[in-house]
Amino acid sequence: MVMGDLVLFQDEVNPVMSALLDAGVSVTALHNHFFFDEPRVYFMHLGGEGKLEDLAAGVRKALDKVAELRAAAPEPKKSARAAALPAANSIDGKAIESVLGVQGQAKDGMYKVVLGRPVQSACGCAVGKEMGVNTWAAFAGSAQLAVIDGDFVTFDGELQPVLKALRRANVEVVAIHSHMEGETPKAIFLHYWGVGPVEELARAVKAALDTQKK
């Protein structure tokens, strides 16, 4: 088995995550360890089981990706690559509903969809959508150029397929961690964002949702 951390700059996180996932190595957490660090540093936790040579090769691919990125851009990027969004939001919720099959809420030209999943808390109480155990997606911008921001809640065996689906769609994962303790089933949350045509972003979320247990 392999377990470890990679210390990464912001612009390295998602390319390195894709390298690990493509090599069969699991990404199990993503978070910061510091305040006020400059440049911003993130820690990506990894794990896996299998043949020693395969695990080592997977980690090596991640390290090679870091070296490639730093050679191409010695100074970490300080802003997102996205083009400027329109001054006024004009998201059509019907286009999103047609992809996700779920009705959301519109406000000021933006649109948000929330999907709850139930767990039992440590005290035996049922906890779900209203208490924040949910997957959500918020859209702003226009049909042609939109930004998506949201969370996924994943249960056992779901995290890696959801990560892979989002990365295949070029949606960026910005955090992976727990929000609670003692719940059943154990819930791991990931936070994500992306930029692109609104229907493509909605389809990325749908692809990730389709990997989860019903």
CATH number at residue 127: 3.30.70
**pLDDT at 121 exceeding the cut of 90:** no
Burial of 3 (0-12, 13-18, 19+ CB in 10 A): exposed
Token pair for residue 40?
Answer: 């911003």
Average pLDDT rounded to a whole number, residues 8-33? 96
* 140 in any annotated domain: yes
CATH number at residue 57: 3.30.1370.10
Residues 134 and 175 in one domain: yes
* 50 in any annotated domain: yes
* Residue 52: domain span: 2-72
Residues 147 and 201 in one domain: yes
Q: Kindly report the pTM of this predicted structure.
A: 0.92
Residues 53 and 131 in one domain: no
What is the count of structural domains for the chain?
Answer: 2
The answer to whether residues 71 and 61 touch, using CB atoms and an 8 Å cutoff, is no
> pLDDT confidence of 81, banded at 50, 70, 90?
low
Q: What is the pLDDT of residue 113?
A: 97
**pLDDT at 83 exceeding the cut of 80:** no
Q: What is the pLDDT of residue 129?
A: 81
Average pLDDT rounded to a whole number, residues 30-55? 95
Token pair for residue 184?
Answer: 């059943």
* Helix H or strand E encompassing 56: helix 52-72
Report CA-CA distances (Å) from 49 to 17, 28, 190: 17, 13, 22
**pLDDT at 123 exceeding the cut of 80:** no
How far apart, in whole angstroms, are the C-alpha atoms of residue 91 and residue 95? Answer: 9
Residues 55 and 103 in one domain: no
Residues 39 and 116 in one domain: no
**pLDDT at 82 exceeding the cut of 70:** no
The residue with tokens 């540093």 is 41
Residues 156 and 51 in one domain: no
Average pLDDT rounded to a whole number, residues 150-176? 97
